[in-house]
Amino acid sequence: MKMKFTNNIYIIILLWFTSACLEETPRFLEFENYEFEELDVNGGNWKTILVSNVDQIEVPAPKPVTSSEYVQELEAMRQKMNSQTAAERDAVRYWTNNPILRWNEIALEMAAKYNLIPGPNPDGTYTLPNPANPDGPPAFPFAHPPYTSRMLAYLSVAQYDALVIAWKHKFQHNRTSPYWVDSSINPAYPKSQLPSYPSDGAAVAMVSKEVLKMMFPLEHTFIDQKYEEHISSLENAGINVKSDIDAGILIGNEIMSFARQRASKDGMANAQTPKPVSDSIANAAYERFGWKWQNMETPQRPVGLTPLFGKVRMWHVPNVEEVRSDPPPAPGSAQFEEDVKELKKYAAHMTLDQRRIANWWEDGLGSYTPPGHWNKFAKLSIVKNKLNPLRTAKVFAYMNSAIMDAGVACWDTKYYYHYPRPVETIKGFRTILGTPNFPAYTSGHSTFSAAGATVLSYFFPDDEAAFQNWAEEAAVSRIYGGIHYRFDATEGTVQGRKVGQYAVNMAKSDGAF
Amino acid sequence: MKNLIYASGLAVLLQFIYIAPSQGQLPFDEIMMSNGEVCAALMFEHGTWNRYWEGDFLRENANIGTLTRQLIMPYVAVGIGKHVNFMASIPYVRTEASGGTQAGQEGIQDLSLSFKVKWLEKRAGAGNFSLLTNTNFNTPVGPYLSDYMPFSIGAGAPELGMRGIVSYRTDFGLVARTSMAYLWRGQTQIERDYYYENGSVYSSFMNVPNAVNFHAALAYWLLDDQLRIEATFQSLNCLTGDDIRSYNRPQPTNKMDFAQVGTWIQYYIKGRQGLGTIAYVNHTVSGRNMGKFTTVGLGLTYQFQAFNKSSN
């Protein structure tokens, strides 16, 4: 009798446990192919960002669809489609007809994978990641927020320029898609009037592969494999023949020479300074203001994160001093004391909602950083609004270049004022987020987020309120986390909006989307 | 006499660092309480580590220094029928790091409910052979954040454990015991909606790996069964999971393993009923993605016949 009772309880517990649904843990954003809401026939006239004169990039005229060459390519494509493996069919579903979204996800994953701060050596020194010896240890790069913002900016700007040029030639030559030539071809994606030569997918694949390889030298094998999979999916999906793809690759290659040239000379190579330079920057601030920031880790890191990122070439702001913030309240001032009081209040008592906000926005080590967070928002809005690849690229290009500009502006301000963190100014202060290795004022999260929100609000005005709320939340999350004073966050948001507006003005200047 | 008194290995599982009593504090011993008997206990535990395994690399981290984990746990065990014991516990845990600038965490951890059933007891040679099973269910009750390792007080996931226990007690008081458990772990809800686990994961849930737990003990009863001394070994091995990345923080998806040796002493001041005390020490000898903990525990027990008094 008692045995029976126990057994019943076992069964009840087992049922309860197994019936409790497990949440899915997806590896990428699930979305379906969609029909583009607009084709942008004049998209080839939009303003490129890297390339000053689009006529510099020559694309040969395609063979007509009646030519024997085309007929042969069409047949080859058909055979490829008919002999697809299950893995190839999965790849077609994965890449979709808007593959920028996938390359963006791959970029975010790389960022998260490489966003690891080097630990100390046994003798207490630190070794910095070195692009000349990427294997390390520590491995190169350390994909911290400035690094990731720049990586995403180059990726998105190269994608955008490649697509503007692809669009120009698409509507110049008007070579129709394979499935319009041969009605027996059943494409994997919705049929579209977008001309197929040159392939927009191939152009995106080429620049994405090359930018990511430039940024993540240890990932060449993985990135090449993604590239091959993507290129192969274009034929398997029935949307491009080989010459479409070749022309797309050609555009991609041309764009990359502009991207490489700019990246090699934008000042990033000097952003992480040696100790004497870093010390002189700190001392300059100390002489000017009477304070300086110091790293509080054990052993102490001798140099903060990228002291000269503020000197890196911006995309839309002519001179970083235009967007440098006014001085912060001095330690000991009434404003300072008030904001310290607020920090102590949260440290003593934090609501669950405040804790959730601090953690949801942490985007710290091991994550895709705040720029990554905004790329995720952009992706959701792009899918929701069914943007075509060109518009998708434009959103990412202006948002990510604005976010990088915000990072540059913020870093300029950070190292100009060299303001100490709360763990330095408040005795015995402990935080629920790790304190980053750079000065407090202004808050990076706040500037990145306000710039991202400003650009996204321009492209998606219906969701402006949500973007602005997120930017405010990102800013305040750092106060809850105990690592920023309110004035860091408030001023960071102002600065980010200001920087974002430069990008918006530029985006507006071609009069299109 | 065989069921003399209760309590036991319950604390042996308490000192799991992060994962801690998500494990549960199921006695994996052979001792049963008789029908209607209740044992109430209050346990205190103090554990520290100053090195941890990042993957299988044992390292220090001056920004953690020494991590201290303290626990206070009310516990109750009830004999329901001759062959079944019910147990429940709910610990309050607190962590603190001596180095760095990050705050510790404290709060109510996981409610643990378990049933132990004795299926078989047989005379064999100059002693008794027993076969028992144990089923435990744990679930987080407080709002603690599991995704705050190594400072978090638990794994934040429900767990169902099934354990088999085999023991042999000689007539002169020596007991050899071994047990093996399979632990199904559910998911823990976190506060970010993207994390890295050998690649991107777009979710605010983490899968806590399933694990197996092995336990073995050699015990000796002294002073007319009022004093019990045990030497223990136990191990926990997650079946899946990722490693802590270089100089990065741990997370609940990690493959956490450890092996510990320990001793356990229990003393019943006046025989079967009334007050008793427990003291134990456990020391981690090997591990993966875990702190190298040493824990010391103390407990007070009070045992009484709550119902079914006539048959006693």
The torsion angles phi and psi of A84, rounded to 5 degrees, stand at -70, 140
Contact state of B137 with A13 under an 8 Å Cβ cutoff: yes
Mutate to test the interface with B, among A430, A437, A470, A484 (most CBs of B within 10 A): A430
Mean pLDDT, range A37-66, rounded to an integer: 96
A141 and A121 within one domain: yes
Residue A407 tokens, joined: 């990072």
- Domain at B9-303, CATH from 2.40.160.40, 3.40.50.11540, 3.30.930.10, 3.40.50.150: 2.40.160.40
Q: What is the pLDDT of residue A32?
A: 79
Q: What is the pLDDT of residue A15?
A: 57
- Among B61, B80, B143, beta carbon nearest to A352: B143
Q: What is the pLDDT of residue B273?
A: 84
Q: What is the pLDDT of residue B270?
A: 83
Q: What is the pLDDT of residue B68?
A: 98
A277 and A259 within one domain: no
A299 and A257 within one domain: no
A503 and A472 within one domain: yes
User: CA separation (Å) from A397 to A159, A459, B42, B194?
Assistant: 8, 12, 61, 23
Q: Which chain A residues are within 8 Å of B102, Cβ to Cβ?
A: 430-434
> Each residue of A227-262: pLDDT tens digit?
999 999 999 999 999 999 999 999 999 999 999 999
**What is the spatial distance between Cα A63 and Cα A246, in angstroms, rounded to a whole number?**
13
Omega prior to B95 cis, within 30 of 0: no
**What is the spatial distance between Cα A200 and Cα A252, in angstroms, rounded to a whole number?**
9
Contact state of B102 with A9 under an 8 Å Cβ cutoff: no
Residue that is last in its domain, among A246, A264, A282? A264
- Among A27, A299, A363, beta carbon nearest to B199: A27
Secondary structure letter of residue A403 according to DSSP? H
User: Does position B312 have pLDDT exceeding 70, yes or no?
Assistant: no
- Among A9, A119, A296, beta carbon nearest to B115: A9
Omega prior to A370 cis, within 30 of 0: no
**Which residues, 6 or more positions from B234, have their beta carbon under 8 angstroms from its beta carbon?**
B12, B13, B213, B214, B215, B216, B259, B260, B262
User: Does position A226 have pLDDT exceeding 50, yes or no?
Assistant: yes
Mean pLDDT, range A394-404, rounded to an integer: 98
Which region among A370-384, B1-15, B199-213 has the lowest average model confidence (pLDDT)?
A: B1-15
User: Does position B200 have pLDDT exceeding 70, yes or no?
Assistant: yes
Q: Which chain A residues are within 8 Å of B245, Cβ to Cβ?
A: 116, 366
User: Does position A223 have pLDDT exceeding 90, yes or no?
Assistant: yes
> Each residue of A144-158: pLDDT tens digit?
999 999 999 999 999
Mean pLDDT, range B229-241, rounded to an integer: 97
Closest listed residue to residue B103, CA positions, set A356, A426, A434:
A434
The answer as to whether A112 is a domain residue is yes
A376 and A258 within one domain: no
Mutate to test the interface with B, among A2, A344, A349 (most CBs of B within 10 A): A2
At B17, the pLDDT band (50, 70, 90 cuts) reads: very low
Residues B287, B260 contacting (CB under 8 angstroms): no
Residues A411, A306 contacting (CB under 8 angstroms): yes
Count how many pairs of residues, chain A against chain B, have C-beta atoms within 8 Å.
Answer: 131
Mean pLDDT, range B177-206, rounded to an integer: 97
A329 and A234 within one domain: no
Q: Which chain B residues are within 8 Å of A137, Cβ to Cβ?
A: 246
**What is the spatial distance between Cα A222 and Cα A213, in angstroms, rounded to a whole number?**
9
At B25, the pLDDT band (50, 70, 90 cuts) reads: very low
> Each residue of A190-222: pLDDT tens digit?
999 999 999 999 999 999 999 999 999 999 999
Contact state of A137 with B158 under an 8 Å Cβ cutoff: no
Q: Which structural domain range is residue A447 located in?
A: 273-508
**Which residues, 6 or more positions from A409, have their beta carbon under 8 angstroms from its beta carbon?**
A310, A314, A317, A320, A323, A324, A447, A495, A496, A498, A499
Q: Considering chain A, what percentage of its residues have pLDDT values greater than 70?
A: 96
User: Does position A269 have pLDDT exceeding 90, yes or no?
Assistant: yes
Closest-CA distance of chain A to residue B188, Å:
10
Domain count, chain A: 2
At A11, the pLDDT band (50, 70, 90 cuts) reads: low
Contact state of B137 with A2 under an 8 Å Cβ cutoff: no
Residues A303, A265 contacting (CB under 8 angstroms): no
The answer as to whether A36 is a domain residue is no
What's this model's pTM, rounded to 2 decimal places? 0.94
A52 and A178 within one domain: yes
**Which residues, 6 or more positions from A287, have their beta carbon under 8 angstroms from its beta carbon?**
none
Residues B154, B17 contacting (CB under 8 angstroms): no
> Each residue of B238-285: pLDDT tens digit?
999 999 999 999 999 999 999 999 999 999 888 778 999 999 999 999
Q: What is the pLDDT of residue A16?
A: 57
**What is the spatial distance between Cα A497 and Cα A475, in angstroms, rounded to a whole number?**
12
What residue of A is the nearest CA neighbor of B105? A432
Q: Which chain B residues are within 8 Å of A118, Cβ to Cβ?
A: 247
Handedness of CA A311, A142, A475, B106 (dihedral sign): negative
A359 and A303 within one domain: yes
A348 and A258 within one domain: no
Q: What is the pLDDT of residue B11?
A: 31
Contact state of A299 with B103 under an 8 Å Cβ cutoff: no
Q: Which chain B residues are within 8 Å of A14, Cβ to Cβ?
A: 160
ipTM attached to this prediction: 0.94
What residue of B is the nearest CA neighbor of A347? B103
More confident residue, A409 or B8: A409
Which region among A36-45, A125-134, B23-32, B115-124 has the lowest average model confidence (pLDDT)?
A: B23-32
Q: How many CA atoms lie within 13 A of B251 on its CB side?
A: 28
Which single residue is written with the structure tokens 């520290």?
B48
Contact state of A432 with B248 under an 8 Å Cβ cutoff: no
Q: What is the pLDDT of residue A512?
A: 78
